């Protein structure tokens, strides 16, 4: 079993006021997961959960800033015009978010004051398969897995 680390520096986090959760080797697009994580970073926990549920119901779009080629414009986006509705990535990120919330409840933190202080998604290992071609040949086909990690911290100010 590999020992997974986090991409955020652990020394800067207060262990009594922060909780971590990660989803490793998730079968979802790392590009979509990255844009979802970038969007929810900095949100309060309840607001982020509502946002992800709205994305899954196609009520709100996720702004695509890096991976935006051939992405259509969506109404209601701030600071970006291109957007999509990454349903599968939103479901998996919401699952990791709920896991972090459960960790916070287990630690005894106030769930209403939690803010997402770190949300990251990056590519994991690749699964190699083959797709059949003409004349008995085959070409490789790669599927890239995704790592998602979320860190929640108690917000000491006004609740949004």
Residue 151: half-sphere exposure toward Cβ, Cα within 13 Å? 17
The answer to whether residue 80 sits within a structural domain is: yes
Dihedral, 100, 102, 106, 109 alpha carbons, nearest 10: 70
Beta bridge partners of 18: 153
pLDDT of residue 158: 59
Residue 127: half-sphere exposure toward Cβ, Cα within 13 Å? 10
CATH of the domain at 117: 3.90.470.10
The answer to whether residue 1 sits within a structural domain is: no
The answer to whether residue 4 sits within a structural domain is: no
Greatest C-alpha distance within the chain: 66
The answer to whether residue 108 sits within a structural domain is: yes
pLDDT of residue 4: 81
CA distances from 70 to 4, 64, 73, 107 (A): 35, 11, 9, 44
The answer to whether residue 8 sits within a structural domain is: no
The answer to whether residue 149 sits within a structural domain is: yes
Work out how many domains the chain is built from and give that number. 1
The answer to whether residue 83 sits within a structural domain is: yes
Spell out, as residue ranges, where the chain has pLDDT lower than 50.
Answer: 159
Q: What is the tens place of the pLDDT at every residue in 30-73?
A: 999 999 999 999 999 999 999 999 999 999 999 999 988 888 89
pLDDT of residue 78: 81
The answer to whether residue 77 sits within a structural domain is: yes
Domain ranges, residue 119: 17-154
pLDDT of residue 12: 82
């Amino acid at each position: 079993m590999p020992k997974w680390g986090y991409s955020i520096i652990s020394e800067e986090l207060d262990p009594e006021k922060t909780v971590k959760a990660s989803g490793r080797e998730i079968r979802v697009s790392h590009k979509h997961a990255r844009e979802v994580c970038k969007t929810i970073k900095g949100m309060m926990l309840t607001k982020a959960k509502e946002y992800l549920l709205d994305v899954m119901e196609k009520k709100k779009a996720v702004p695509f800033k890096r991976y935006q080629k051939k992405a259509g414009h969506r109404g209601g986006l701030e600071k970006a015009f291109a957007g999509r509705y990454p349903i599968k990535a939103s479901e998996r990120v919401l699952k990791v978010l709920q896991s972090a919330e459960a960790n916070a409840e287990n630690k005894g933190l106030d769930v209403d004051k939690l803010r997402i202080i770190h949300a990251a998604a990056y590519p994991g290992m690749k699964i190699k398969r083959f797709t059949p071609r003409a004349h008995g040949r085959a070409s490789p086909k790669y599927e890239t897995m995704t790592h998602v990690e979320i860190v929640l911290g108690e917000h000491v100010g006004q609740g949004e």
